[in-house]
């Protein structure tokens, strides 16, 4: 039988169909990629925006610098405590200013060489035969001596704008102020005053000069405290110790002398006051008695003037009566009419007479 077999064969797609399928797949891939890119970019924008939030503490002020220049004018450029936003770095930069925090600087230009580890441990290297100007600092005094001195200054910021924008490094400016004040003040005092005699006044002078320089330079800070430590050169410590001991003994001797002086003066004052009080008391009693006697005589004067003889006899009897109360014998001598006195003879020997003895036969 002459028949034809029919076979079904898959025919490969032609070139046009292949290109259409590839284009469609590419379009779908690009669409998915753009979607992902959009999502990533959105997330990046959100993250970029959120990274601009910052917090200012309760004891801080903040300033936003946009390309290096402050944003705002005057007090408006200062941001107070709370949450704020700025463009992230490098567009904006946030500078925080600790306005209430106590900051310190130390001036050791006039101090001998020591390391931080030795400062913490309290250990010192032995002093050499002389100062080494390359590493050892010192200060010249008014009496042309040399001392070691250093100071620590505590301060807080009062004008953040002046402190931040008027100086490249305000802390270095404060350091220079303290160095200047310490060396200048040392040149106004003698070595003994700085080390022994007038430590407090020297410290006050350093702080006052530092405050004057701060005000002159308009640093925008206020000084809270300045402490100064001074010591003689270590090469002369034995000599200074001997001088100090001699001065202490002198001061003790002077104190003892002053105490003795005070005791003697107080005793003499007390004695003098006692004598004066006694004299015044005696004077008062004497004057009082005189006044009383004078009054008594003034009171009896009229009686005397009325009958002087009678008054004298009455007074005589009144005064003599008490005296004769306990007398054993009494004699009354009358007055003679012619005024001549009687001749009175008294036997003063009152011994009883001896009995007579009989005659002997």
User: Any idea which fold 103-117+133-232 has?
Assistant: Tetrahydropterin Synthase; Chain A (3.30.479)
Residues 169-203, buried b or exposed e (16+ Cβ, 10 A)?
ebeebbbebbbebbbebbeebbbbbbbbeeeeebb
Query: Which pLDDT score, from 0 to 100, does residue 3 have?
Result: 44
pLDDT at res. 155: 92
The rounded distance, in Å, linking the Cα atoms of 50 and 46 is 6
Can you give the C-alpha Rg of the chain in angstroms?
59
What is 136-182 written as a DSSP string?
Answer: ---EE-TTS-EEEEEEEEEEEES-HHHHHHS-S-HHHHHHHHHHHHH
Beta bridge partners of 97: 61
135: number of Cβ within 10 Å: 9
pLDDT number for residue 272: 93
Two structure tokens written together for 252: 């003790």
Domain ranges in the chain are 53-97, 103-117+133-232, 244-321
- What is the per-residue pLDDT for 207? 95
Structure token digits, residue 52? 């601009």
Residue 74 confidence (pLDDT): 61
Q: What is the pLDDT of residue 5?
A: 46
What kind and span of H or E run contains 84? Answer: strand 82-85
DSSP type of residue 134: T
Q: State both tokens at 91.
A: 């567009």
- Strand-pair partners of 65: 70, 93
Q: Can you tell me the distance from the alpha carbon of 77 to that of 60, in angstroms, rounded to the nearest whole number?
A: 13
pTM equals 0.53
Number of helical (H) and strand (E) elements in the chain, helices listed first = 8, 9
Name the phi and psi angles at 338, rounded to 5. -80, 0
Q: Return the structure tokens found at 232.
A: 């003689």
Instruction: Check residue 211 and give left, alpha or beta (phi > 0: left; psi -120 to 50: alpha).
Output: alpha
Q: Around 184, how many Cα atoms within 13 Å sit in the side-chain half-sphere?
A: 15
Q: What is the pLDDT of residue 13?
A: 54
| Confidence (pLDDT) at 90 | 76
**Pairwise CA distance, residues 240 & 235, whole Å:** 10
> What integer pLDDT is reported at residue 179 of this predicted model?
95
- The half-sphere exposure of 221 on its side-chain side, counting CA atoms within 13 A, is 31
Q: Which residues contact 198 (CB under 8 A, 6 or more apart)?
A: 189
pLDDT at residue 170 in the model: 83
Give me the pLDDT at residue 19, please: 63
* Residues 6 or more apart in contact with residue 63 via CB below 8 angstroms: 70, 71, 77, 78, 79, 94, 95, 97, 160, 161, 164
Q: Mean pLDDT for each 10-residue chunk of the chain (361 residues)?
A: 46 58 71 80 76 72 72 67 75 73 89 82 72 85 91 89 78 93 94 88 95 91 93 82 82 92 93 93 93 88 84 80 70 65 64 58 44
Residue 17, helix vs strand vs coil: helix
């Amino acid at each position: 039988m002459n028949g034809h077999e029919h076979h079904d064969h898959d025919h490969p797609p032609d070139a046009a169909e292949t290109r259409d399928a590839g284009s469609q797949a590419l379009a779908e891939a690009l669409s998915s990629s753009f979607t992902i890119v959009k999502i990533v970019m959105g997330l990046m924008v959100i993250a970029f925006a959120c990274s601009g939030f910052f917090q200012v503490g309760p004891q801080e002020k903040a300033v936003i610098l946009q390309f290096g220049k402050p944003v705002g004018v005057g007090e408006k450029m200062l941001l107070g405590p709370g949450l704020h936003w700025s463009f992230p770095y490098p567009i904006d930069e946030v500078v925080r200013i600790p306005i209430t925090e106590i900051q310190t600087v130390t001036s050791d230009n006039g101090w001998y060489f020591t390391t931080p580890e030795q400062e913490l441990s309290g250990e010192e290297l032995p002093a050499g035969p002389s100062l080494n100007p390359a590493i050892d600092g010192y200060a010249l005094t008014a009496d042309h001596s040399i001392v070691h001195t250093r100071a620590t200054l505590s301060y807080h910021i009062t004008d953040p704008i002046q402190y931040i924008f008027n100086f490249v490094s305000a802390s270095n400016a404060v350091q220079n102020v303290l160095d200047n004040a310490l060396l200048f003040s040392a040149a106004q005092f003698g070595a003994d005053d700085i080390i022994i005699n007038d430590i407090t006044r020297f410290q006050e002078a350093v702080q006052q000069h530092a405050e004057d320089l701060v005000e002159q330079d308009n640093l925008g800070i206020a000084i809270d405290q300045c402490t100064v430590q001074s010591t003689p050169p270590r090469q002369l410590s034995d000599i200074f110790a001997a001088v100090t001991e001699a001065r202490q003994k002198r001061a003790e001797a002077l104190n003892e002398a002053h105490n003795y002086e005070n005791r003697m003066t107080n005793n003499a004052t007390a004695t003098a006051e006692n004598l004066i009080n006694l004299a015044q008391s005696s004077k008062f009693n004497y004057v009082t008695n005189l006044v009383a006697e004078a009054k008594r005589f003034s009171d009896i004067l009229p009686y005397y003037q009325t009958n002087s003889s009678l008054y004298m006899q009455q007074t005589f009897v009144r005064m003599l009566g008490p005296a004769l109360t306990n007398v054993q014998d009494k004699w009354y001598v009358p007055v003679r009419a012619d005024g001549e006195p009687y001749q009175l003879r008294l036997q003063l020997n009152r011994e009883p007479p001896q009995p007579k003895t009989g005659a002997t036969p």
